[in-house]
C-alpha cells in the first residue's frame, strides 16, 4: 500500500459523536485525497489537499472537514456523525497535480455509525 | 452523476478465458486510468491511457480508448484466479486537471473460477 497507513482501520460509533480518521504517508507526496466508497456509487472525493494547510472540497464534502498541518498527515473529521456517513473511507496520495499521475491508496477505514 | 460508468457490473469467467470490461464517460477527458481493488483492500493503479492514444498494453492488459464514443475497454487476457477483483475506471475531473482530481466509476466485479 505504498507507504500509506490509515487509522483506525475499523470504527463503530454513535450518531452525533465526532470522529477523526487519520491518513499517514511516508512518501513525501504533496497531494492527498479522502474518498468514500459506497455500494452503487463507486469512490467519491470528499476533500483533497495540495500542500500543508492547503485543502479544498470535493464532490461530497458536506458534513466533513479536513486538516493538514504536516506533509505526512491528512485528517478527516466528521463533526457530528450521521448514519449516512457509514462507509469505507480511503486516503490516496499523488506526487503531482497532474491527473495523469497515479494515485496510491491506503488500506481503508470501515466506519459504522449507529 | 458518475463521470465513468463500467459495464458489465459483474463478470464471471473460467481461468484462461479473456475478460473485457467497458467504461463510458460523459465529458471530455485528458486521461483515463484503470484501477483494481481486491476484496477489503485499497485500489491499485493498473494502466493509464491519454486522450491522444487509442490503445495501450501492459503485460496481459490491453486498454483501448475511443474519444469519439467517450468509451474505454479493459481486456485481461488468459485470466487467472488471482485476477478476481473489482475494476474501476477513473477520469480526470471535467473542466480540467486541477490538483489531479479523479472521478471513479462504480466498478466491474470480476470473478475468475479455477
User: Is residue A101 a contact partner of residue B33, using CB atoms and an 8 Å limit?
Assistant: no
Q: What is the mean pLDDT of chain A?
A: 92
Quick one: average pLDDT of A90-111?
A: 86
Per DSSP, the residues of B20-84 read: EEEEEESS--SEEEEEEE-TTS-EEEEEEEETT-SEEEETTEEEEEETTTTEEEEEE-S--GGG-
Give chain B positions within 8 Å (CB) of A50: 99
Contact B112, B15 (CB under 8 A): yes
The DSSP bridge partners found for residue A41 are none
Query: pLDDT > 70: what percent of chain A?
Result: 95
Torsion over CA: B72, B77, B81, B82 (sign): negative
The tens digit of pLDDT for each residue in A7-46 reads: 999 999 999 999 999 999 999 999 999 999 998 788 999 9
Residue A17 contacts B, CB cutoff 8 Å: no
Q: Does A106 touch chain B (CB under 8 A)?
A: yes
The pLDDT, as a whole number, for residue B92 is 82
Q: Cβ of A90 under 8 Å from any chain B Cβ? A: yes
Residues of A in contact with B41 (CB under 8 A): 1, 107-108
Q: Over 80: is that where the pLDDT of B100 sits? A: no
Model pLDDT, residue A114 = 96
Tell me the sheet residues that pair with B58: B61
Cβ A100–B48 below 8 Å, yes or no? yes
Residue of B41, B42, B105 with shortest CB distance to A42: B105
Please tell me if residue A97 touches chain B, with a CB cutoff of 8 Å.
yes
Confidence of residue B33 (pLDDT cuts 50, 70, 90): very high
Q: Are A21 and A32 in contact (CB under 8 A)?
A: no
Q: What is the per-residue pLDDT across B46-84, written as a single tens digit (0 to 9) for each?
A: 999 999 999 999 999 999 999 999 999 999 999 999 999
pLDDT of residue B94: 56
Amino acid at each position: 500500500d505504498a507507504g500509506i497507513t490509515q487509522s483506525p482501520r475499523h470504527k463503530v460509533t454513535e450518531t452525533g459523536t465526532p470522529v477523526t480518521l487519520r491518513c499517514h504517508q511516508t512518501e513525501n507526496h504533496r497531494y492527498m485525497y479522502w474518498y468514500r466508497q459506497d455500494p452503487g456509487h463507486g469512490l467519491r472525493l470528499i476533500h483533497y489537499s495540495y500542500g500543508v494547510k492547503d485543502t479544498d472540497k470535493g464532490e461530497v464534502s458536506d458534513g466533513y472537514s479536513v486538516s493538514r498541518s504536516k506533509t505526512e498527515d491528512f485528517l478527516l473529521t466528521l463533526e457530528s456523525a450521521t448514519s449516512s456517513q457509514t462507509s469505507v473511507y480511503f486516503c490516496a496520495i499523488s506526487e503531482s497535480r497532474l491527473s495523469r499521475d497515479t494515485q496510491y491508496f491506503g488500506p481503508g477505514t470501515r466506519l459504522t455509525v449507529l | 452523476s458518475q463521470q465513468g460508468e463500467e459495464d458489465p457490473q459483474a463478470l464471471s469467467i473460467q481461468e484462461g478465458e479473456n475478460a473485457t470490461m467497458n467504461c463510458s464517460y460523459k465529458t471530455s477527458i485528458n486521461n483515463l486510468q484503470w484501477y483494481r481493488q481486491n476484496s477489503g483492500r485499497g485500489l491499485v493503479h493498473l494502466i493509464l491511457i491519454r486522450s491522444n492514444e487509442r490503445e495501450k498494453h501492459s503485460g496481459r492488459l490491453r486498454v483501448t480508448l475511443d474519444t469519439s464514443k467517450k468509451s474505454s475497454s479493459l481486456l485481461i487476457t488468459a485470466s487467472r484466479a488471482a485476477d478476481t477483483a473489482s475494476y474501476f475506471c477513473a477520469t480526470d475531473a471535467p473542466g480540467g486537471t486541477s490538483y489531479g482530481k479523479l472521478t471513479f466509476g462504480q466498478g466491474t466485479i470480476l470473478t475468475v473460477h479455477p
